[in-house]
Structure 1
């Protein structure tokens, strides 16, 4: 494995996005055309590369002054436990250091990772979703 290079870009090949998202078994990987558009629309996109291979990514949205939301954080399983995810989070924390809060919705098995990155679990809040809009 070469040195991981981090890039702040918004243009990606469909195949690169598809490979990364499906590597972590995220269903959005089945919609690479939509992912390409989504990457263009995020305020912040930081990607991790091993030569020409997209191995990780973090994407955030913000309101311009107070709150930023981490929407995607994923690292190809072959590259996990190498500090890539934490490095991506730290880059987002630096970008939004003057904001009042950075919000992330993590699955239960991810809570420990985010706590290690400085996040605190809200005791009085629960995430709410609508995902099946077309059923």
Structure 2
């Protein structure tokens, strides 16, 4: 997912969470998502949505198979 950005005045209103969850629902049968949080403060957001830190400690991913 590239450049999922939320206007700061709407942050904390679950807009970003809604976008991430829509993508996960749409591709629930098979999904490989990789994100690279620009700032470490964003890592907990992705962890709440099921992403895990990859070995290199920078990118995060989620993989599902049905």
* TM score, norm. by length of structure 1: 0.39
Counterparts in 2 of 1:64-103, with a 5 A limit? Answer: 70-103=1-34
RMSD over equivalenced CA pairs, Å? 1.7
Greater RCO structure (CA 8 Å; 6+ sep): 2
Q: Which structure 1 residue ranges, 5 or more long, are not aligned?
A: 1-69, 128-135
Question: How far, CA to CA, are the matches of 2:34 and 2:58 in structure 1?
Answer: 12
Higher-Rg structure is 1
Q: Which structure 2 residue ranges, 5 or more long, are not aligned?
A: 60-66
Q: Deviations over 1:74-103 (max 9, x none)?
A: 110000001110000000111111224211
User: Which ranges of 4 or more aligned residues in structure 1 deviate by more than 2 Å?
Assistant: 123-127
* TM score, norm. by length of structure 2: 0.74
Q: How many residues align?
A: 58
